[in-house]
Structure 1
Amino acid sequence: MSNSQIISTRQRIINAAAELFSAQGITETTTKAVAQLAKVNEVTLFRHFGNKHGLLLAVISESPVFQELGEYLKTQATQTTSVYQALKNYCEDRLEAFEQAPNLVRSVVGEAGNYPLENRQALGRSLKEANHYVAEFLATVMEREQLYAHLPPQKLASLLNIMLLGYAVIEFTSEFHELWHDKDEFLENLVTLFLMGATNSTSLVSSELVKIEKIIDLPSNTVHLILQRAKKSGLRDYALIYILFAAGLSTAEITNLQRTHQICNANQHLLQIVVGSIRQVPVNQWIMGKRYGSYTNNPLTKYLNNRKDEHSALFLNNDGMPISQTQIQEYWQKLTQGLLTPEGQQPTTKQAQHTWCVEMLIKGMNLEDMSLITGFDLHELQPYARRAKEKSALEQARKLDNKS
C-alpha cells in the first residue's frame, strides 16, 4: 500500500470520527461506527490510532482549528486593522469554530476524566502549541500599536483562550443563563475588558476602542413638552425637533439633508444620509408612545409642503438659507429654555439622539440592525443597549408593583 493511500485512509477515519463526534458526542460514538463510515475495518482504525481516545486526540489536534491557526494568525497580524479589531476578529473566528461542533465541546469537557493520562497530556500539548501561536500574534499586534502589556503575551494568550473556551462551555451546556445578551455583546465586552485590563489605557484611546459617553435619554413628558413648544414656534421648528426625536440624527447629518433625500410614501418615510456613515434612516410615526401624524402627513411633510422657495436644502434658517449646526443648537436652546433633565441639566440635542436609540432598542431592534441604521459599531451601541435594559427592568418593576 502506498504512502498516499495510508494518508488517505487515516484522513478518512479522522473525517468520519469528527463527523460522528460532532453529531452525537464521544460516548455515543463507537469505533465500529467510525470504521463503517470511513469504509475501513476496526483493525485498521486501531492500527492508526490505538483506541477511541487516540482517535479523538487526532481529531482535535489535526483539525483546522489547530492546523491552520498559525498561518491564520500570521496573516491577521500583518493586517492594518487596530489591535482592538484584530483581537475581535480572532475571538469571533474561534467561537465560530467551536459552534461548528457543540456536541464535541460538550463531550471533551464532560468526559475528559475518562481519557488515559497519555491522551490528556497529548491534548494539553496541542493546546499549548495553539496558545503559542496566539501569544506571537498578540506580541506582534501590540508592538505595532505600541501598547505596553502588564503581563507577558503567553499569559495574555492563555487568559484570552480560557475565556473563549468558558463561553463555549456555558453556551453548549446551559440555557437561559442570561450572562450576556448574545455573542456580539460577549465579544465586545471581552475584548474591551481584555485590552483595558491588560494594557496601558492611554494608548487605547487612540485606537478603535471608542471612549463612550454616558447615555442620558430624556423622559417621555420632557420629549412631548419640547415637541409642543416647537409646534407653537412654527412649522420649521416643529419639523426640526420632530426629526431629532423621530430619526435620531446628529445636527451635522441634518444640515446636509436635501429635499431629494426623502423617500416618502404611504408605507414608509425614510431619509438618505449622504455624509459620514452612508445609510437610510426611518422617520418614525410614533415617539415615546404618541403618534405624530403619518408617513405622508407629519411635521416634516407639512413644513416642506408649505415652503414656496426653490432651495434644495431640507431645512432653512430664519433668513431663508440652508440651516447650520450652530443655528440648530440655538433653536434648540430657545425651545428647551427652563426645562431640566432628571440630572438637573438643560436638555441637549445629543440627548434627542440618545432617546431615539434607546427607544428603538426597547421596541425590539437588535444591535446588528441598529448598527446599520445608526452607523455606530457594536461597541458604541453597548451603552445604549444597557440603558434600554435598565428602562425595561424599571418597566417590569412597575408592572409587578401594580400587581401587588
Structure 2
Amino acid sequence: MSSQRNPTRQRLITAALELFASQGVTETTTKQIAERADVNEVTLFRQFGNKHGLLLAVIEEAAVFTTLGQTLVEQANQTSSLHQALSKYATACLQALERVPEVVRSVVGEAGQYPSENRQALGQGFTQANRYVAEYFQTVIDRGQLDSYLSAERLASLLNGMLLGYAVIEFTSEFHDLWQDRQDFLENLVTLFLHGAVSPSESSSSLVRVERDMIERVADLPAQLVHSILQRAKKQGLQPYAWAYVLFGAGLSVAEVARLERSHYIHDAHQQLLQVTQGDVRQVPVNQWIMGKRYGSYTKNPLTQWIKSRKDQQSALFLNESGRPLSETDLRQQWQELTQEFLTPEGQPPTIKQPQQTWCIEMLMRGIKLNDLQILTGWSADRLQPYEHRAREKAALEEAIRLDQKV
C-alpha cells in the first residue's frame, strides 16, 4: 500500500525524517518517532518492523536524490550557460545536505550497522541522481558544447562524488584547510569540470571563453545600493543590521560569518577586530566607514548594539529564529529576503558573496597593498588579481571623470 493511501505510514516517515535530520539516526528512538507521529509504538513496528525498516522507507520515499537530479535537467532548458547550470546544481545539492547534517554523520558513521537493504537503497538513490546528472552532461555534449575525455555517466559520478565528499568532510571534521568556504570549493569544482575534465569543441570555444570570464569576473556593488541594503537591514532589526554590517565592513564569507562567536569580537575605543577561525586563522578589522559613509564608532555600531541586546547564553554571534547558531543556509535565506526587489547595475539580484567582493575592492581603492590584502583575506595573489584589475579600472574611471570636471 502506498504512503499516499496510508496517512499513518506517511506521518511516521515524516516524523522519522525530521528526527533523523535534527539528531541523527542513532540518537533517535522508535518511541520518539511514534510520539511525534501521534501513533502507538506498536503501530510503527507493525508497519516497518524496526527502526532500520523505517529508515529504508525514508530513503526510498523521500525522493531527495531524484529531486536534485531533476533540478539540473530542468536547468538544461533554462540556461545556455554550463557554468551557471553546474553552479546552481552543486549549490542546491550542498544546501540540501546542509539541512540534514546529522543524517550525513549518521550514514557515514553507522552505515556498516545497517542491513543490506538499507545500503542497497542508498546506492539506488545515488544511482538515480547520477542518471539525471549524466543526462544533463550528455545533453551539453550532444549540443557540441563539450568534447569530454570521459563518458557522461563517469563525469556525473565524479561530480556527485566530490559533492558528497565535501559534505562528509565539513560535517565530520570542523577544522581543516582544504578550502576557505563552500563558495571557494564550488568555484574551484566548476572550474575543474569546465577546464579539466572536459574541453571545448571547436564550435564552442567562444562559449567556454565566456564561461571563463564569468568565473573570473568581480562584481562589486555601487555605494548607493550598499547603503540601501544596510538601511533596509536596520529597519528589519538589530541582528540583520549587525550581520549586514559585518558582511560589508569586514569582508568575510558566508561560512566565516556563520561560524563567528561572541568571543571572536575584540574592540576598544581605537579598533574593532574579528577573529576568523574558518580556513586560515586570522584577524580582520571591521570598518567604521563603508563606501564613504560612517556606521557608528568602534564602541557603538550595529554589531555592538546587537550584542548588548542579547539576553541569551549562546556563544554564537548570530542566531536563527529558534535561538540556535545561525547556519550558512539561514544566512543565505535571510540575505535573499533582505535584498528582495534590489537589482545590481547588471539587472541581477545582489548575491551574498558580493559584499565580500565590494569590501576587497574598497580596501584596494583606499590604498591597501595587495600583500596586506592577502593576509586579511587568506587568499592567494592569483585569486586577488581580478580584484586588483577591477580596482584599477574603477580608479581610472574616477580619474577620467575628475579630469573632465576640471575642464
- What is the letter of the counterpart of residue 166 of structure 1? G
Instruction: Report the CA distance between 1:97 and its aligned residue.
Output: 0.3
Instruction: Report the CA distance between 1:188 and its aligned residue.
Output: 0.5
Corresponding position: 1:383 with 2:383: yes
In the alignment, what sits opposite 1:287?
Answer: 367
What CA distance in whole angstroms lies between the structure 2 residues aligned with 1:5 and 1:97? 24
In the alignment, what sits opposite 2:79?
Answer: 80
Over 3 Å counting, the alpha-carbon distance change for 1:359 and 1:82 in structure 2 is farther
- What is the letter of the counterpart of residue 164 of structure 1? L
- What is the letter of the counterpart of residue 96 of structure 1? Q
Instruction: Report the CA distance between 1:195 and its aligned residue.
Output: 2.5
Give the TM-score normalised by structure 1: 0.54
In the alignment, what sits opposite 2:27?
Answer: 28
User: % of aligned pairs identical?
Assistant: 53
In the alignment, what sits opposite 1:166?
Answer: 165
In the alignment, what sits opposite 2:175?
Answer: 176
Q: How does 1:5-404 map to 2 (within 5 A)?
A: 6-144=5-143, 146-201=145-200, 203=205, 205-210=208-213, 282=362, 286-288=366-368, 355=370, 360=373, 362-364=375-377, 383-384=383-384
What CA distance in whole angstroms lies between the structure 1 residues aligned with 2:214 and 2:75? 25
Q: Which runs of 5+ in 2 are unaligned?
A: 217-290, 297-343, 389-407
Deviations 1:62-93 (A, max 9, x none): 22522423432331110124111111110010
Q: Indicate the SS of the match to 2:146.
A: coil
Deviations 1:140-193 (A, max 9, x none): 234335211111111111111111000000000001111100000000111111
| Equivalences, count | 254
What CA distance in whole angstroms lies between the structure 2 residues aligned with 1:91 and 1:33? 34
Deviations 1:254-284 (A, max 9, x none): xxxxxxxxx967889xxxx979999987587
What CA distance in whole angstroms lies between the structure 2 residues aligned with 1:92 and 1:108? 21
- What is the letter of the counterpart of residue 35 of structure 2? Q
Which stretch of the first structure deviates more once superposed, 162-171 or 198-207?
A: 198-207
Which stretch of the first structure deviates more once superposed, 275-284 or 200-209?
A: 275-284
Give the TM-score normalised by structure 2: 0.54
In 1, are the aligned partners of 2:130 and 2:153 still within 8 Å (CA)?
A: yes
In 1, are the aligned partners of 2:146 and 2:199 still within 8 Å (CA)?
A: yes
What CA distance in whole angstroms lies between the structure 2 residues aligned with 1:160 and 1:283? 36
Over 3 Å counting, the alpha-carbon distance change for 1:381 and 1:79 in structure 2 is farther
- What is the letter of the counterpart of residue 106 of structure 1? R
Q: Indicate the SS of the match to 1:162.
A: helix
- What is the letter of the counterpart of residue 24 of structure 1? Q
What CA distance in whole angstroms lies between the structure 2 residues aligned with 1:54 and 1:61? 11
Over 3 Å counting, the alpha-carbon distance change for 1:275 and 1:45 in structure 2 is closer
In the alignment, what sits opposite 1:306?
Answer: none
Deviations 1:352-388 (A, max 9, x none): xxx4xx6556445x99xxxxxxxxxxxx997218999
What CA distance in whole angstroms lies between the structure 1 residues aligned with 2:121 and 2:347? 52
4+ aligned runs moved over 6 Å, structure 1 = 2-5, 263-268, 273-281, 385-388
Over 3 Å counting, the alpha-carbon distance change for 1:122 and 1:139 in structure 2 is same
Q: Indicate the SS of the match to 1:200.
A: strand
What CA distance in whole angstroms lies between the structure 2 residues aligned with 1:25 and 1:266? 46
- What is the letter of the counterpart of residue 46 of structure 2? R
Instruction: Report the CA distance between 1:39 and its aligned residue.
Output: 0.7
What CA distance in whole angstroms lies between the structure 1 residues aligned with 2:53 and 2:118? 6
